[in-house]
């Protein structure tokens, strides 16, 4: 492949919640695009999408769609990635895949640039973008791990419906209005599209994200557990997760307990680490009721950290509250960031 200064970019799943944010982010970052191709499954083909003032027609992805593409950003579901990512790679593209299809594959780097940018270099055509709830947690904990070492994480999540796509956001909107009107709530999608049971999400909390695994954990919980170890290069790290879907549209929040290896660490030290970490914004001042919230974090690229406290019984234990826009740092921005690092380091 020639090293051009602009690139032919394909966005697969361009009409989805993440795909839309990818286009916004590419535009916002003034990404060096030569030719842009918007692709989707047959269901969304033909839709019109605008980018930098130009209208594009979304095309159905076929193997030949990836001819002459340098970078392909996938977010159209695991089955689409499994079918077309190898076709894109075969044609010389580098795939940045936002689905779970390749994340745990041994020869696929799983990357959060603030944590393991160097792993990008080892790609064999596919680079995986981690799960949204994993990304913001490892971004917040990496500076702690680097400075102090970490041995254990216990996280409980507070996750927005947009993580389940535009349809889930519509379901929350419709159910909320129905509830306020005193009408019956109709639940057809959440917690998991296609599963046999559906619960209302409006004014409710659902302790299930993605399908249950044999061990009683959900797939979302196992993603957080396994992806964290891979991204942080810490196979021995103890990670436990409980993932909960909540009635808000944007940004995931996380209540994180972390045990550091170094003794005698103070809250001030952790705050200082956060304050100097790339991509992290410290919002932590109890005296002025300053802490991150999902509404405030929405539409921003950073990971926001607050409520940092020392455990009252465990010398090495700390509690944190971590919030970030699940569609930006949790998906679109992290993917575009990987593409930017790929180019800047000439690892394409």
Residues engaged in binding a copy of itself (CB under 8 A): 152, 154, 156, 158, 173, 176-177, 180, 191, 195-197, 199-200, 203-208, 212, 215-217, 225, 238-240, 242, 244, 246-249, 253, 255, 257, 267, 286-289, 291-296, 306-314, 317, 319, 321
Identify the active-site residue in 70, 123, 132, 243: 132
- CB-nearer residue toward a copy of itself: 46 or 286: 286
- CB-nearer residue toward a copy of itself: 272 or 310: 310
In whole angstroms, how close is the CB of 324 to a copy of itself at the nearest point?
13
Q: How many CB atoms lie within 10 A of CB 36?
A: 21
- CB-nearer residue toward a copy of itself: 166 or 242: 242
- CB-nearer residue toward a copy of itself: 37 or 229: 229
In whole angstroms, how close is the CB of 14 to a copy of itself at the nearest point?
26
- CB-nearer residue toward a copy of itself: 7 or 291: 291
- CB-nearer residue toward a copy of itself: 18 or 253: 253
CA distance 29 to 113: 16
In whole angstroms, how close is the CB of 283 to a copy of itself at the nearest point?
10
Q: What is the largest CA-CA distance in the chain?
A: 62
- Do residues 46 and 57 make contact, with C-beta atoms less than 8 angstroms apart? yes
What's the CA angle centered on 175, arms 171 and 181, to 5 degrees?
155
Identify the active-site residue in 70, 123, 243, 252: 252
Active site residue 233: no
In whole angstroms, how close is the CB of 308 to a copy of itself at the nearest point?
8
- Do residues 76 and 97 make contact, with C-beta atoms less than 8 angstroms apart? no
In whole angstroms, how close is the CB of 32 to a copy of itself at the nearest point?
36
Cα 256 from chain centre: 17
Active site residue 243: no
Strands 303-310 and 317-324: antiparallel
In whole angstroms, how close is the CB of 157 to a copy of itself at the nearest point?
9
CA distance 84 to 126: 11
- CB-nearer residue toward a copy of itself: 79 or 213: 213
In whole angstroms, how close is the CB of 188 to a copy of itself at the nearest point?
14
What's the CA angle centered on 77, arms 134 and 200, to 5 degrees?
75
Q: Is 131 exposed, middle or buried (0-12, 13-18, 19+ CB in 10 A)?
A: buried
Catalytic residues: 132, 252
């Amino acid at each position: 492949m020639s090293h051009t200064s602009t690139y032919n970019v394909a966005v697969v799943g361009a009409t989805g919640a993440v795909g839309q944010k990818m286009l916004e982010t590419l535009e916002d970052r003034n990404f060096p695009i030569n030719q842009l191709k918007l692709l989707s499954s047959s269901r969304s083909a033909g839709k019109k999408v605008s980018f930098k003032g130009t209208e594009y027609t979304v095309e159905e992805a076929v193997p030949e769609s990836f001819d002459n593409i340098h970078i392909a950003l996938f977010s159209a579901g695991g089955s689409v990635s499994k079918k077309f990512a190898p076709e894109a790679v075969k044609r010389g593209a580098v795939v940045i895949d936002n689905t779970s299809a390749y994340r745990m594959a041994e020869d696929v780097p799983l990357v959060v640039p603030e944590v393991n940018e160097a792993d990008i270099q080892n790609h064999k055509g596919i680079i995986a973008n981690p799960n949204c709830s994993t990304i913001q947690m490892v971004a917040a904990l990496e500076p702690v791990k680097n400075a102090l070492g970490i041995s254990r994480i216990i996280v409980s999540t507070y996750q927005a419906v947009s993580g389940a796509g535009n349809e889930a956001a519509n379901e929350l909107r419709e159910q909320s209005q129905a509830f306020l009107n005193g009408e019956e709530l109709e639940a057809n999608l959440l917690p998991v599209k296609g599963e046999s049971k559906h619960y209302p999400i409006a004014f409710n909390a659902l302790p299930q994200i993605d399908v249950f695994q044999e061990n009683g954990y959900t797939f979302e919980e196992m993603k957080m557990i396994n992806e964290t170890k891979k991204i942080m290069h810490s196979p021995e790290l103890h990670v436990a997760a409980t993932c909960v879907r909540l009635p808000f549209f944007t940004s995931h929040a996380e209540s994180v307990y972390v045990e550091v290896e170094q003794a005698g660490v103070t809250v001030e030290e952790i705050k200082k680490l956060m304050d100097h970490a790339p991509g992290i914004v410290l919002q932590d001042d109890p005296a002025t009721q300053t802490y991150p919230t999902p509404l405030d974090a929405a539409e921003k690229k950073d990971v926001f950290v607050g409520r940092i406290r020392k455990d009252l019984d465990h010398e090495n234990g700390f509690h944190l509250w971590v919030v970030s826009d699940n569609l930006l740092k949790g998906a679109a921005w992290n993917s575009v960031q990987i593409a930017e690092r790929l180019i800047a380091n000439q690892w394409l």
